Structure 1
């Protein structure tokens, strides 16, 4: 009557135990010097995500879905979502450099010019959306060929 717990192979269990040990070690090292600052940062990041970012990208996603659904093209939604998510993640990680918020400090630490980040992010975003549009065009063309009867 009792169900067996799904347990992986011994290698998976060892890998899982090692990952927990590594995460525990990293947590102890991270919290050793400034645990209150780290805790504040984690709580602040969670609140910023849940109260600001989540509603913003939920509204943007609904607008995309509604816009594509109105034209009967709901299947095209992933071709907008994927490049938008990847571009957004890049912006989230590199926003201080993209927005020029750490210009002097970055230049002093690395000796490099931080002015290239905005242009590069825009170029990467354009390539992501262009590649997605190309994949969509290939998919639409392939579907059109399947629907049309072969003419000899």
Structure 2
């Protein structure tokens, strides 16, 4: 077993899970391509090109701008905390909110005609709900950042110091 782990780099369970995920992806791809094969292939190629040509440069530039803003706003006494660690508290909720927008944009932007007749839900509620979810994501991220900053500045006992003695007890 140790020989397998050293050659492969992980446990046999990891290999089994990776192979199962590949099998599931192949199955889903075959089922997907049974319909409009050319349309599906064009959609995948178009999505890859749109991501690589438009979205990747856009969010890379946005990330660099946010890093520059954070770098300028830090004062000289706050050099101990890494910028990358703090910027992730913006990256993660922004990524999740934009992913939700990307997946649900037809409903969020009210682009689905007749949606109310199918589900009984009003199509106008999705914009507000997406904004609330986005606000909640950023609020939760801000709370996590505050807890992290509080824990970093909390006084910790030093290893070479003895813990304080309990009052009223004498050593023999």
Paired residue for 2:120? 111
Shift of 1:58: 1.0
Shift of 1:17: 3.7
Structure (1 or 2) with the greater helix fraction: 1
Question: Structure 2: where are the runs of 5+ without partners?
Answer: 1-5, 157-172
Deviates more, 1:10-19 or 1:30-39: 10-19
Deviates more, 1:130-139 or 1:81-90: 130-139
SS at match of 1:140: helix
Deviations 1:30-66 (A, max 9, x none): 1122110000110111111111111111111111111
Shift of 1:23: 2.4
Q: What is the TM-score when the length of structure 1 is the normalising length?
A: 0.80
- Of the two, which has the highest radius of gyration? 2
- Residue 111 and residue 14 in structure 1: after superposition, are their counterparts in 2 closer, same or farther (change >3 A)? same
Q: What is the TM-score when the length of structure 2 is the normalising length?
A: 0.72
Paired residue for 1:58? 60
What is the distance in 2 between the residues matched to 1:76 and 1:7?
Answer: 31
- Residue 8 and residue 59 in structure 1: after superposition, are their counterparts in 2 closer, same or farther (change >3 A)? closer
Paired residue for 1:20? 22
Paired residue for 1:129? 138
Paired residue for 1:89? 99
Shift of 1:12: 4.3
Paired residue for 1:150? none
Shift of 1:13: 4.2
Corresponding pairs, count:
143
Deviations 1:107-128 (A, max 9, x none): 2332321211110110011111
SS at match of 1:90: helix
> 2:109 is matched with which residue: 99, 104, 118?
99
